[in-house]
Amino acid sequence: MSNKSKSFWFFLAPSLIGMAVVLFIPLITGAYYSMTDWNGIKVDQFLGLDNYIRAFQDERFLSSIWFTTKFSVVAILLVNVIGLGLALLVTQKADKLNNLFRTVFFMPNLIGGIILGFIWQFIFIKAFSAIGDATGIEFFKGWLSTTNTGFWGLVILFVWQMSGYIMIIYISFINNIPDEMIEAAEIDGATAWQTFWKIKFPMLAPAFTVSLFLTLSNAFKIYDQNLALTAGGPFDSTQMVAMNIVNEAFAVRNMGYAQAKAVIFLVIIAVISVVQISITRKREVDL
Protein backbone atom coordinates (compact mmCIF):
# COMPACT_ATOMS: atom_id res chain seq x y z
CA MET A 1 0.00 0.00 0.00
CA SER A 2 1.42 3.35 -1.07
CA ASN A 3 1.97 6.24 1.33
CA LYS A 4 -0.74 8.20 -0.50
CA SER A 5 -3.22 5.38 0.03
CA LYS A 6 -2.26 5.07 3.70
CA SER A 7 -2.77 8.79 4.23
CA PHE A 8 -6.16 8.60 2.55
CA TRP A 9 -7.40 5.83 4.87
CA PHE A 10 -5.79 7.50 7.89
CA PHE A 11 -7.79 10.70 7.42
CA LEU A 12 -10.94 8.80 6.42
CA ALA A 13 -10.82 6.47 9.43
CA PRO A 14 -12.39 8.88 12.00
CA SER A 15 -15.41 9.41 9.74
CA LEU A 16 -15.79 5.67 9.12
CA ILE A 17 -15.53 4.92 12.84
CA GLY A 18 -18.08 7.63 13.63
CA MET A 19 -20.50 6.28 11.03
CA ALA A 20 -20.07 2.77 12.35
CA VAL A 21 -20.75 3.86 15.95
CA VAL A 22 -23.75 6.09 15.31
CA LEU A 23 -25.23 4.43 12.20
CA PHE A 24 -24.23 0.92 11.18
CA ILE A 25 -23.94 -0.73 14.61
CA PRO A 26 -27.25 0.73 15.93
CA LEU A 27 -28.94 -0.25 12.64
CA ILE A 28 -27.79 -3.87 12.87
CA THR A 29 -28.57 -4.05 16.59
CA GLY A 30 -32.01 -2.53 16.04
CA ALA A 31 -32.77 -4.99 13.25
CA TYR A 32 -31.95 -7.85 15.64
CA TYR A 33 -34.05 -6.46 18.49
CA SER A 34 -36.97 -5.96 16.09
CA MET A 35 -37.21 -9.75 15.84
CA THR A 36 -37.31 -10.31 19.61
CA ASP A 37 -39.55 -9.56 22.60
CA TRP A 38 -37.01 -7.04 23.93
CA ASN A 39 -38.45 -4.86 26.71
CA GLY A 40 -35.52 -2.48 26.97
CA ILE A 41 -33.67 -4.61 29.51
CA LYS A 42 -33.54 -8.19 28.32
CA VAL A 43 -34.56 -10.52 25.52
CA ASP A 44 -36.51 -13.64 26.50
CA GLN A 45 -37.51 -14.94 23.10
CA PHE A 46 -36.57 -14.66 19.44
CA LEU A 47 -39.77 -14.02 17.46
CA GLY A 48 -38.54 -13.90 13.90
CA LEU A 49 -40.88 -11.88 11.70
CA ASP A 50 -43.80 -11.98 14.15
CA ASN A 51 -43.36 -8.32 15.13
CA TYR A 52 -43.43 -7.26 11.48
CA ILE A 53 -46.55 -9.27 10.75
CA ARG A 54 -48.18 -7.79 13.82
CA ALA A 55 -47.22 -4.26 12.73
CA PHE A 56 -48.91 -4.68 9.34
CA GLN A 57 -52.04 -5.80 11.17
CA ASP A 58 -51.95 -2.93 13.66
CA GLU A 59 -54.72 -0.51 12.69
CA ARG A 60 -53.31 2.36 14.76
CA PHE A 61 -49.89 1.99 13.16
CA LEU A 62 -51.36 1.83 9.66
CA SER A 63 -53.58 4.80 10.44
CA SER A 64 -50.55 6.81 11.62
CA ILE A 65 -48.73 5.97 8.38
CA TRP A 66 -51.69 7.16 6.31
CA PHE A 67 -52.05 10.34 8.37
CA THR A 68 -48.32 11.06 8.10
CA THR A 69 -48.40 10.49 4.35
CA LYS A 70 -51.32 12.91 3.85
CA PHE A 71 -49.64 15.47 6.06
CA SER A 72 -46.33 15.13 4.23
CA VAL A 73 -47.82 15.54 0.76
CA VAL A 74 -49.71 18.71 1.69
CA ALA A 75 -46.90 20.17 3.81
CA ILE A 76 -44.15 19.50 1.25
CA LEU A 77 -46.17 21.14 -1.52
CA LEU A 78 -47.02 24.23 0.55
CA VAL A 79 -43.53 24.67 2.03
CA ASN A 80 -41.85 24.59 -1.36
CA VAL A 81 -44.39 26.85 -3.05
CA ILE A 82 -44.29 29.39 -0.23
CA GLY A 83 -40.52 29.09 0.18
CA LEU A 84 -39.97 29.72 -3.52
CA GLY A 85 -42.42 32.63 -3.45
CA LEU A 86 -40.60 34.21 -0.52
CA ALA A 87 -37.25 33.70 -2.24
CA LEU A 88 -38.49 35.49 -5.34
CA LEU A 89 -39.92 38.25 -3.17
CA VAL A 90 -36.70 38.98 -1.25
CA THR A 91 -34.40 38.82 -4.28
CA GLN A 92 -35.90 41.90 -5.88
CA LYS A 93 -32.95 44.20 -6.56
CA ALA A 94 -34.73 47.47 -5.88
CA ASP A 95 -36.01 46.62 -2.39
CA LYS A 96 -33.77 47.86 0.43
CA LEU A 97 -35.68 45.82 3.02
CA ASN A 98 -34.73 42.45 1.51
CA ASN A 99 -32.27 41.56 4.29
CA LEU A 100 -34.82 42.43 6.95
CA PHE A 101 -37.49 40.30 5.29
CA ARG A 102 -35.07 37.39 4.94
CA THR A 103 -34.32 37.52 8.65
CA VAL A 104 -37.99 37.76 9.62
CA PHE A 105 -39.02 34.86 7.36
CA PHE A 106 -36.16 32.66 8.58
CA MET A 107 -36.63 33.29 12.31
CA PRO A 108 -39.38 30.67 12.93
CA ASN A 109 -36.88 27.99 11.95
CA LEU A 110 -34.69 28.98 14.90
CA ILE A 111 -37.43 28.15 17.42
CA GLY A 112 -37.56 24.61 18.78
CA GLY A 113 -40.40 22.33 17.74
CA ILE A 114 -41.78 21.89 21.25
CA ILE A 115 -41.94 25.64 21.83
CA LEU A 116 -43.51 26.19 18.42
CA GLY A 117 -46.13 23.57 19.21
CA PHE A 118 -47.15 25.27 22.44
CA ILE A 119 -47.14 28.70 20.77
CA TRP A 120 -49.49 27.55 18.04
CA GLN A 121 -51.57 25.55 20.52
CA PHE A 122 -52.20 28.83 22.38
CA ILE A 123 -53.05 30.56 19.09
CA PHE A 124 -55.45 27.86 17.93
CA ILE A 125 -57.18 27.34 21.27
CA LYS A 126 -57.11 30.72 23.00
CA ALA A 127 -56.67 33.31 20.24
CA PHE A 128 -58.95 31.59 17.73
CA SER A 129 -61.61 31.03 20.39
CA ALA A 130 -61.47 34.71 21.34
CA ILE A 131 -61.88 35.70 17.68
CA GLY A 132 -64.77 33.26 17.33
CA ASP A 133 -66.51 34.60 20.44
CA ALA A 134 -66.03 38.21 19.29
CA THR A 135 -67.19 37.65 15.71
CA GLY A 136 -69.58 34.74 16.14
CA ILE A 137 -67.79 32.81 13.38
CA GLU A 138 -67.87 29.09 14.18
CA PHE A 139 -64.81 28.43 12.04
CA PHE A 140 -62.54 29.77 14.81
CA LYS A 141 -64.10 27.66 17.57
CA GLY A 142 -63.01 24.20 18.63
CA TRP A 143 -59.68 24.12 16.81
CA LEU A 144 -57.55 21.01 17.47
CA SER A 145 -60.65 19.24 18.83
CA THR A 146 -61.26 17.36 15.57
CA THR A 147 -59.08 15.31 13.25
CA ASN A 148 -59.55 17.77 10.39
CA THR A 149 -58.57 20.89 12.33
CA GLY A 150 -55.74 19.01 14.02
CA PHE A 151 -54.41 18.04 10.60
CA TRP A 152 -54.48 21.59 9.30
CA GLY A 153 -53.05 22.90 12.56
CA LEU A 154 -50.01 20.66 12.12
CA VAL A 155 -49.68 21.70 8.47
CA ILE A 156 -49.80 25.40 9.38
CA LEU A 157 -47.19 24.95 12.11
CA PHE A 158 -44.82 22.98 9.87
CA VAL A 159 -45.18 25.37 6.93
CA TRP A 160 -44.62 28.39 9.19
CA GLN A 161 -41.44 26.83 10.58
CA MET A 162 -39.91 25.41 7.39
CA SER A 163 -40.77 27.96 4.69
CA GLY A 164 -38.06 30.41 5.73
CA TYR A 165 -35.43 27.67 5.76
CA ILE A 166 -36.38 26.46 2.29
CA MET A 167 -36.45 30.10 1.16
CA ILE A 168 -32.72 30.37 1.94
CA ILE A 169 -31.97 27.39 -0.29
CA TYR A 170 -33.90 28.86 -3.20
CA ILE A 171 -32.26 32.26 -2.67
CA SER A 172 -28.79 30.73 -3.02
CA PHE A 173 -29.72 29.21 -6.39
CA ILE A 174 -31.59 32.29 -7.64
CA ASN A 175 -28.55 34.45 -6.90
CA ASN A 176 -26.43 32.13 -9.06
CA ILE A 177 -28.58 32.69 -12.15
CA PRO A 178 -26.49 34.86 -14.52
CA ASP A 179 -27.79 38.41 -14.75
CA GLU A 180 -27.05 38.35 -18.47
CA MET A 181 -29.76 35.77 -19.04
CA ILE A 182 -32.37 37.85 -17.20
CA GLU A 183 -31.32 41.03 -18.99
CA ALA A 184 -31.46 39.28 -22.37
CA ALA A 185 -34.98 38.08 -21.65
CA GLU A 186 -36.05 41.59 -20.65
CA ILE A 187 -34.56 43.04 -23.84
CA ASP A 188 -36.47 40.46 -25.87
CA GLY A 189 -39.67 41.65 -24.22
CA ALA A 190 -40.30 38.71 -21.90
CA THR A 191 -42.80 39.32 -19.12
CA ALA A 192 -41.99 38.63 -15.47
CA TRP A 193 -43.92 35.35 -15.65
CA GLN A 194 -42.15 34.26 -18.87
CA THR A 195 -38.78 35.11 -17.34
CA PHE A 196 -39.57 33.03 -14.29
CA TRP A 197 -41.07 30.03 -16.12
CA LYS A 198 -38.64 29.85 -19.03
CA ILE A 199 -35.39 30.89 -17.33
CA LYS A 200 -35.47 30.87 -13.54
CA PHE A 201 -37.60 27.76 -13.02
CA PRO A 202 -35.40 25.42 -15.13
CA MET A 203 -32.28 26.85 -13.49
CA LEU A 204 -33.73 26.01 -10.06
CA ALA A 205 -34.01 22.28 -10.76
CA PRO A 206 -31.09 21.38 -8.40
CA ALA A 207 -32.73 23.49 -5.68
CA PHE A 208 -35.93 21.46 -6.04
CA THR A 209 -33.95 18.24 -5.49
CA VAL A 210 -32.42 19.53 -2.26
CA SER A 211 -35.56 21.24 -0.96
CA LEU A 212 -37.86 18.30 -1.67
CA PHE A 213 -35.48 15.91 0.08
CA LEU A 214 -35.20 18.11 3.17
CA THR A 215 -38.92 18.79 3.46
CA LEU A 216 -39.78 15.15 2.80
CA SER A 217 -37.45 13.82 5.48
CA ASN A 218 -38.50 16.44 8.02
CA ALA A 219 -42.23 16.02 7.35
CA PHE A 220 -42.18 12.25 7.74
CA LYS A 221 -40.16 12.19 10.96
CA ILE A 222 -41.99 15.03 12.72
CA TYR A 223 -42.52 14.30 16.42
CA ASP A 224 -42.02 17.25 18.77
CA GLN A 225 -44.55 19.50 17.01
CA ASN A 226 -47.03 16.65 16.97
CA LEU A 227 -46.50 16.05 20.69
CA ALA A 228 -46.83 19.69 21.71
CA LEU A 229 -49.72 20.68 19.44
CA THR A 230 -52.17 17.76 19.51
CA ALA A 231 -50.41 14.93 21.40
CA GLY A 232 -51.99 12.65 18.80
CA GLY A 233 -55.54 13.52 19.82
CA PRO A 234 -58.40 13.27 19.58
CA PHE A 235 -58.27 9.49 20.10
CA ASP A 236 -54.90 9.10 18.31
CA SER A 237 -56.45 10.38 15.06
CA THR A 238 -53.62 12.92 14.55
CA GLN A 239 -50.87 10.62 15.75
CA MET A 240 -47.95 10.43 13.36
CA VAL A 241 -45.66 7.45 12.88
CA ALA A 242 -42.84 8.80 15.05
CA MET A 243 -45.21 9.36 17.96
CA ASN A 244 -46.77 5.93 17.50
CA ILE A 245 -43.33 4.31 17.68
CA VAL A 246 -42.22 6.35 20.71
CA ASN A 247 -45.43 5.59 22.60
CA GLU A 248 -45.08 1.89 21.82
CA ALA A 249 -41.50 1.89 23.09
CA PHE A 250 -41.71 4.06 26.21
CA ALA A 251 -45.37 4.11 27.24
CA VAL A 252 -46.09 0.41 26.72
CA ARG A 253 -42.43 -0.69 27.12
CA ASN A 254 -42.79 -2.97 24.10
CA MET A 255 -39.48 -2.02 22.56
CA GLY A 256 -38.97 -5.02 20.32
CA TYR A 257 -42.28 -4.37 18.61
CA ALA A 258 -41.56 -0.63 18.46
CA GLN A 259 -38.20 -1.38 16.84
CA ALA A 260 -39.95 -3.44 14.16
CA LYS A 261 -42.19 -0.45 13.43
CA ALA A 262 -39.10 1.77 13.26
CA VAL A 263 -37.44 -0.54 10.73
CA ILE A 264 -40.57 -0.50 8.57
CA PHE A 265 -40.67 3.28 8.84
CA LEU A 266 -36.99 3.51 7.89
CA VAL A 267 -37.55 1.39 4.79
CA ILE A 268 -40.55 3.49 3.74
CA ILE A 269 -38.64 6.77 4.08
CA ALA A 270 -35.57 5.34 2.33
CA VAL A 271 -37.60 4.10 -0.65
CA ILE A 272 -39.52 7.36 -1.00
CA SER A 273 -36.31 9.41 -0.71
CA VAL A 274 -34.47 7.34 -3.32
CA VAL A 275 -37.42 7.58 -5.74
CA GLN A 276 -37.73 11.35 -5.16
CA ILE A 277 -34.02 11.99 -5.72
CA SER A 278 -33.87 9.83 -8.84
CA ILE A 279 -36.90 11.57 -10.37
CA THR A 280 -35.74 15.10 -9.58
CA ARG A 281 -32.17 14.38 -10.69
CA LYS A 282 -33.50 13.06 -14.00
CA ARG A 283 -35.59 16.21 -14.26
CA GLU A 284 -32.44 18.29 -13.81
CA VAL A 285 -30.86 16.57 -16.84
CA ASP A 286 -34.03 16.97 -18.94
CA LEU A 287 -34.19 20.69 -18.15
Please state, in angstroms and rounded to a whole number, the distance separating the CA atoms of residues 33 and 46: 9
Q: Does some domain include residue 176? A: yes
pLDDT exceeds 70 at position 2 = no
Q: Does some domain include residue 42? A: no
pLDDT exceeds 80 at position 195 = yes
Nearest Cα residue to 223 out of 33, 64, 82: 64
Which distant-in-sequence residues (6+ apart) come within 8 Å of 239 by Cβ? 60, 63, 64, 67, 226, 232, 247
pLDDT tens digit string along 44-74?
A: 899 989 999 999 999 999 999 999 999 999 9
Q: Does some domain include residue 35? A: no
pLDDT exceeds 60 at position 286 = no
For 120, the domain range is 58-286
Residue 46, classed as helix, strand or coil, is strand
Q: What is the pLDDT of residue 112?
A: 78
pLDDT tens digit string along 113-159?
A: 788 889 999 999 899 889 988 888 888 888 888 899 999 999 999 99
Q: Does some domain include residue 178? A: yes
For residues 173 and 206, is the Cβ–Cβ distance under 8 A? yes
Q: Does some domain include residue 25? A: no
Q: 219-242 as b/e, with b when 16 or more CB fall inside 10 Å?
A: bbebbebbbbbbbbeeebbbbbbb
Residue 260's identity, in one-letter code, is A
Q: Does some domain include residue 218? A: yes
Q: Does some domain include residue 4? A: no
Q: Phi/psi at 232 (nearest 5 deg)? A: 85, -10
Please state, in angstroms and rounded to a whole number, the distance separating the CA atoms of residues 170 and 57: 42
Nearest Cα residue to 151 out of 80, 64, 218, 269: 64
Query: In the Cβ-directed half-sphere of 59, how many Cα atoms lie within 13 Å?
Result: 3
Instruction: Provide the CATH number for the domain around residue 251.
Output: 1.10.3720.10
In which region does residue 48 sit, left (phi positive, over 0), alpha (psi from -120 to 50) or beta (all else)? left
Nearest Cα residue to 198 out of 217, 209, 214, 182: 182
Question: How many domains does the structure of the chain reveal?
Answer: 1
Q: Does some domain include residue 160? A: yes
